[in-house]
Chains A and B, each alone.
Chain A
Amino acid sequence: EVQLLESGGGLVQPGGSLRLSCAASGFTFSRYDMNWVRQSPGEGLEWVSAISTGGSDTDYADFAKGRFTVSRDNSKNTLYLQMNSLRAEDTAIYYCAGEDDYNDANWFDPWGQGTLVTVSS
Chain B
Amino acid sequence: QSALTQPHSASGSPGQSVTISCTGTSSDVGAYNFVSWYQQHPGKAPKLMIYDVSKRPSGVPDRFSGSKSGNTASLTISGLQADDEADYYCCSHAGSSYVFGTGTKVTVL
Binding site for B on A (CB under 8 A): 35, 37, 44-47, 50, 59, 61-62, 95, 97, 105-109, 111-114
What are the residues of chain B within 8 A of A114 when measuring CB–CB? 45
Would you list 12 pairs from A and B whose C-beta atoms are within 8 A, ordered by A residue?
A35-B98, A37-B46, A44-B100, A44-B101, A44-B103, A45-B103, A61-B1, A106-B93, A107-B91, A108-B38, A108-B91, A111-B46
**Residue of B with least CB distance to A114:** B45
| Other 5 A-B pairs with CB < 8 A, given A46-B3, A107-B91 | A47-B91, A50-B98, A106-B32, A106-B52, A108-B46
On whether A45 and B97 interact (CB within 8 A), knowing A108-B48, A113-B45, the answer reads no
Q: Which of B2-55 contact A (CB under 8 A)?
A: 3, 32, 34, 36, 38, 40, 45-48, 51-52
User: Would you call B98 and A109 a contact (CB within 8 A)?
Assistant: no
Contact of A45 among B38, B47, B48 (CB under 8 A): B38
User: Would you call A59 and B96 a contact (CB within 8 A)?
Assistant: yes
User: Would you call B51 and A59 a contact (CB within 8 A)?
Assistant: no
* Cβ distance A103 to chain B, nearest Cβ, rounded Å: 10
B67 at the interface (CB under 8 A from A): no
User: Would you call B1 and A107 a contact (CB within 8 A)?
Assistant: no
* Per-position binary interface string of chain B over residues 45-76, scored 1 when its CB falls under 8 Å from any chain A CB and 0 otherwise: 11110011000010000000000000000000
What are the residues of chain A within 8 A of B97 when measuring CB–CB? 47, 50, 59, 61
What are the residues of chain B within 8 A of A45 when measuring CB–CB? 38, 40, 46, 89, 91, 100, 103
What are the residues of chain B within 8 A of A46 when measuring CB–CB? 3, 100
Give the complex CA separation of A97 and B99 in angstroms. 14
User: Would you call B36 and A106 a contact (CB within 8 A)?
Assistant: yes
What are the residues of chain A within 8 A of B93 when measuring CB–CB? 106
**Residue of B with least CB distance to A60:** B97
